[in-house]
Amino acid sequence: MKLRDFGIVIVYITLHLLSSMQMDYLQFINQTRDFFDIPVALAIGTTYKVIIAFAFLKIQKVELIYILPIIGLALITRIVFHGPFPIGILAGWFFLYTRDTENQ
């Protein structure tokens, strides 16, 4: 993996976790463990995370036709299976990345 691509991954994860930190802080000050108790923050936080993921994939030169399914995959991973959203994004991206590298 190129150092540039690895650096972009680090920046993406950091930006994602910064928004998670904000959400956790909101949970803390609202004294709740359920995000649905703060629905507006949940909607804004999710939109922000999707935008960051979109920007990450776009910067990594992933075609738009793949970006939407990858974001869909990550959302399913998060909402249906309660898994981590960025790992869903990284899984989709890394699959395409290794395939393209092998083909070159």
Partner 1 sequence: MNKNQSNSNFKKQLRSFGAAFSDKGFRDFIIRFLSTLFLLTIIYEAYLWFTEQQRELDWITYKVSELSHALATALGVANCEFSCFMDGCRIGVEGKMINVLEGCNGLMLALVYASYIVGSGGWKWSSLAQVIIGIIVVQFFNVLRIGMLVVLRDLGGDIYFFFIKYVFNVLIYISILFLWILKPYVDRFFEKPNEA
Task: State the chain's maximal CA–CA distance in angstroms.
Answer: 52
CB-CB contact of 53 with 24 (8 Å):
no
Site for partner 1 in 33-92 (CB under 8 A): 63-66, 68-69, 73, 76-77, 81-84, 86-88, 90-92
Q: Which of 11/41 has CB closer to partner 1?
A: 11
> Residue 21 interacts with partner 1 (CB under 8 A)?
yes
Tokens matching residue 5: 């691509």
Exposure on the CB side of residue 28, measured as CA atoms within 13 A: 6
Rounded CA-CA distance 63/48 in Å is 20
**Is residue 26 close enough to count as binding partner 1 by CB under 8 A?**
no
Contact residues toward partner 1 (CB under 8 A) are 1, 9-10, 13-14, 17-18, 20-21, 24, 63-66, 68-69, 73, 76-77, 81-84, 86-88, 90-92, 94-96, 98-99
